[in-house]
Amino acid sequence: MNVLNVGMHEMKLRRLDLTLLMVLDEAIRRRKLSEVADRLGLSQPAVSHAVARLREIFGDPLFQRRPGGVEPTPRCLALAPAVASMLALARDAVAPPEPFDPARSERVFRLTGLDYAAARFGPPLLARFDAAGRGLRLSIRPHVRDDALRALAEGEADLAIGFFPRRAAEIEVRPLYEEDYLVAGAATHPRLGRRRLDLDLYCALDHVLVSLDGGLSGTVDAALAKLGRQRRVVAAVPQFLPALAAVADSRAVVTLPPRFLYSFTKVIQRR
Q: Do 63 and 105 sit in the same domain of this protein?
A: no
Q: DSSP label at 264?
A: -
Q: In the predicted model, is pLDDT for residue 266 greater than 60?
A: no
Q: Tell me which residue of 100, 249, 125 sits closest to 184, measured CA to CA.
A: 249
Q: Do 194 and 160 sit in the same domain of this protein?
A: no
Q: Do 60 and 136 sit in the same domain of this protein?
A: no
pLDDT in tens, 62-110: 999 998 899 999 999 999 999 999 999 988 888 887 788 888 888 899 9
Of 78, 94, 110, the one marking the end of a domain is: 94
What is the per-residue pLDDT for 267?
47
Q: In the predicted model, is pLDDT for residue 177 greater than 80?
A: yes
What is the value of pTM for the model shown? 0.58
More confident residue, 10 or 65: 65
Q: Do 248 and 189 sit in the same domain of this protein?
A: yes
Q: Do 218 and 151 sit in the same domain of this protein?
A: no
Residue range 240-256: mean pLDDT, rounded: 92
Q: Which residues of 64-101 are buried (b: 16+ CB within 10 A; e: fewer)?
A: eeeeeebebbeebeebeeebeeebeeeeeeeeeeeeee
Q: Lowest-pLDDT range, 14-18, 155-159, 164-168, 237-241?
A: 164-168
Three-state DSSP class for 265?
Answer: coil
Here the CATH number for the domain that contains residue 15 is 1.10.10.10
Q: Do 8 and 90 sit in the same domain of this protein?
A: yes
What is the per-residue pLDDT for 195?
73
Share of the chain above pLDDT 90, in %: 49
Of 121, 141, 176, the one marking the end of a domain is: 176
User: How many domains would you assign to the chain?
Assistant: 3
Q: Which domain holds residue 239?
A: 182-270
Here the CATH number for the domain that contains residue 236 is 3.40.190.10
Q: Lowest-pLDDT range, 57-66, 92-101, 194-203?
A: 92-101
Q: Do 191 and 260 sit in the same domain of this protein?
A: yes
More confident residue, 261 or 184: 184
Of 94, 114, 138, the one marking the end of a domain is: 94
Q: Do 110 and 79 sit in the same domain of this protein?
A: no
